[in-house]
Each structure stands twice: as C-alpha cells, then as structure tokens.
C-alpha cells in the first residue's frame, strides 16, 4: 500500500526548461541587440540545448556556448553570468500546468515530500516562488543535509522524516541518474517522468510517464497489489 510520494522539483513539478529560458533571456539580450528576433531565438535555443536540463555545472554548460558565441560576449561573461544565474533563476520558476491540480488531489490522501538536489538558497527560493509548500509534509533540499541524489542516505532521510517504509513510497523524478537510480537503490518504486518518448531505456522496465496526472493510474495499480 502506497502511503507517501516523493517528488523531485526541477523538471518534475516545475517547468525546468521555461525556468532556464527565462533567466537566459533576461541576461543575454544585452549582448545580441543587433540580432533580429529569430536570430536571437536561435541563440537562446542553443543555450537551452547546452543547459542539459541542469544536470551538469553551469560552467560546463557555458563552454560550447562561449565557443560558438564568444565574439559577441565580454571577456568577463562567465564570471558575471554564473552568479546572476544563481541569484535570479528563482524569479522565473513556474509549475507545470497540471502540478497544482495533481497536488490538490493527493494532499490528505498521501504524505507528500520534495527531495531536490541543489544548493539551499537557490532551491528553496524557487520552491517558495511557486507557493506550494503547504502541499508538502516535508521539503528537503540536499544542500541542507550534505548528501545528494542518488545517494541512498538522501532518500532514507526523507523516508525517516515521513515515517514510512521504502515499499510504501513512490519517487517521481525526471533525471534518471539521480531520481530513478537513487529510488531503485533504496527499494522505492520509481516513476520516471519524461516528455521525450525517443529516449531508449532498455535496462529499465519500471513506470514511465509524460504528465503528472498519470500518477493516479499508477497509484491504483500499486494499491491493488
């Protein structure tokens, strides 16, 4: 019987790509004033590609961007952009369209938690920006506890806070190497949320969804076991 659901934040209940697009657009326009709208859009779309959904450091994401567009950028671009990114990204944090209605249906029926990788200030700021803390029994940012997904200790920490067993819990996340791997290693039932149907995963036969509202079918199935 499922008693609790742990959610990743970025890319799972929030629209991570729109969040990143917002902060990139805010900062980059000043360097591409001579570009028309479509040319500038191409710049932003390149950076969204290099962003790798936030799974690598900002410094690494900027390497191919600077290699391609460096002639338009000041020498101190990286030095100034990285702190801007961390200080302002929360302002562009938005929920996925279905998130609030899904949480409203789950609240009271299940214990709910967020387990988000990242530094304390930026992640808590993003979560506060979208005003969803009241839905959750626990909000855990790994920067606060010193261990990060997929480390089992991060998942076990949340299980202990929720006072549930691993087989009573689902973990919903979009990054396989942190959310899904970590859940499997902790014997928590994983639910991989990804909009990209073209991603092959021959070694994974667990749940895979495109939208959060598909979770209700999974809960019904799990609770019949």
CATH number of the domain within which 157 lies: 3.40.50.1000
Q: Are strands 169-173 and 138-141 parallel, antiparallel or unpaired?
A: unpaired
pLDDT in the model for residue 65: 98
Per cent of the chain over pLDDT 70 is 100
Q: Are residues 112 and 179 in the same domain?
A: yes
pLDDT in the model for residue 7: 98
Q: Are residues 66 and 164 in the same domain?
A: no
pLDDT in the model for residue 210: 96
Q: Are residues 126 and 87 in the same domain?
A: no
User: What is the C-alpha to C-alpha distance for residues 130 and 94, in angstroms, rounded to an integer?
Assistant: 6
Mean of all residue pLDDT scores within the chain: 96
Q: Is pLDDT above 90 for 208?
A: yes
Q: Are residues 61 and 147 in the same domain?
A: no
The secondary structure of the chain, three-state, reads CCCEEEECCCCCCECHHHHHHHHHHHHHHHHCCCCCHHHHHHHHHHHHHHHHHHCCCHHHHHHHHHHHHHHHCCCCHHHHHHHHHHHHHHHHCCECCCHHHHHHHHECCEEEEEEECCCHHHHHHHHHHCCCHHHCCEEEEHHHHCCCCCCHHHHHHHHHHHCCCHHHEEEEECCHHHHHHHHHHCCCEEEEECCCCCCCCCCCCCEEECCHHHHHHHHHHHCCC
Q: Is pLDDT above 90 for 1?
A: yes
User: What is the C-alpha to C-alpha distance for residues 95 and 63, in angstroms, rounded to an integer?
Assistant: 29
Q: Which of 92, 121, 154 is the last residue of a domain?
A: 92
Looking at the 3D structure of the chain, how many domains does it have?
A: 2
Q: Which of 92, 124, 155 is the last residue of a domain?
A: 92
Q: Is pLDDT above 90 for 19?
A: yes
Q: Are residues 115 and 213 in the same domain?
A: yes
pLDDT in the model for residue 20: 96
| Cβ 139 vs Cβ 127: under 8 Å | yes
Q: Are residues 103 and 153 in the same domain?
A: yes
pLDDT in the model for residue 136: 98
pLDDT in the model for residue 62: 97
Q: Is pLDDT above 90 for 225?
A: no
* pLDDT tens-place string over residues 127-186: 999 999 999 999 999 999 999 999 999 999 999 999 999 999 999 999 999 999 999 999
Q: Are residues 79 and 121 in the same domain?
A: no
Q: Which of 92, 111, 140 is the last residue of a domain?
A: 92
The rounded radius of gyration (Å) of the Cα atoms in the chain is: 19
Q: Are residues 10 and 107 in the same domain?
A: yes
The region that residue 7 occupies, defined by phi over 0 for left and psi between -120 and 50 for alpha, beta otherwise, is: beta
pLDDT in the model for residue 197: 85
Q: Are residues 98 and 82 in the same domain?
A: no
pLDDT band of 196, cuts 50, 70, 90: confident
Q: Are residues 98 and 75 in the same domain?
A: no
User: What is the C-alpha to C-alpha distance for residues 186 and 147, in angstroms, rounded to an integer?
Assistant: 14
Q: Are residues 37 and 101 in the same domain?
A: no
Q: Are residues 205 and 179 in the same domain?
A: yes
115: containing domain: 4-15+94-222
* pLDDT tens-place string over residues 100-109: 999 999 999 9
């Amino acid at each position: 019987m499922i008693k609790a659901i742990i959610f990743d934040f970025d890319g799972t209940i929030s629209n991570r790509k729109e969040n990143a697009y917002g902060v990139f657009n805010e900062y980059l326009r000043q360097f591409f004033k001579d570009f028309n709208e479509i040319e500038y859009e191409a710049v932003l779309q390149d950076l969204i590609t290099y962003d790798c959904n936030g799974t690598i450091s900002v410094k690494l994401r900027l390497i191919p961007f600077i290699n391609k567009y460096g002639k338009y950028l000041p020498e101190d671009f990286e030095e100034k952009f990285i702190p801007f990114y961390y200080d302002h990204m929360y302002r562009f944090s938005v929920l996925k369209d279905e998130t609030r209605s899904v949480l409203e249906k789950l609240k009271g029926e299940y214990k709910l938690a967020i387990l988000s990788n990242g530094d304390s200030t930026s992640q808590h700021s993003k979560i506060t920006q979208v005003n969803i803390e009241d839905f959750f029994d626990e909000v855990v940012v790994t920067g606060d506890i010193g261990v990060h997904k997929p480390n089992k200790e991060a998942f076990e920490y949340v299980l202990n806070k929720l006072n549930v067993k691993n087989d009573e819990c689902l973990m919903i996340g979009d990054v396989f190497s942190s959310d899904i791997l970590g859940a499997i290693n902790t014997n928590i039932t994983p639910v991989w949320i990804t909009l990209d149907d073209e991603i092959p995963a021959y070694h994974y036969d667990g749940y895979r969804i495109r939208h959060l509202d598909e979770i209700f079918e999974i809960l019904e199935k799990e609770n019949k076991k």
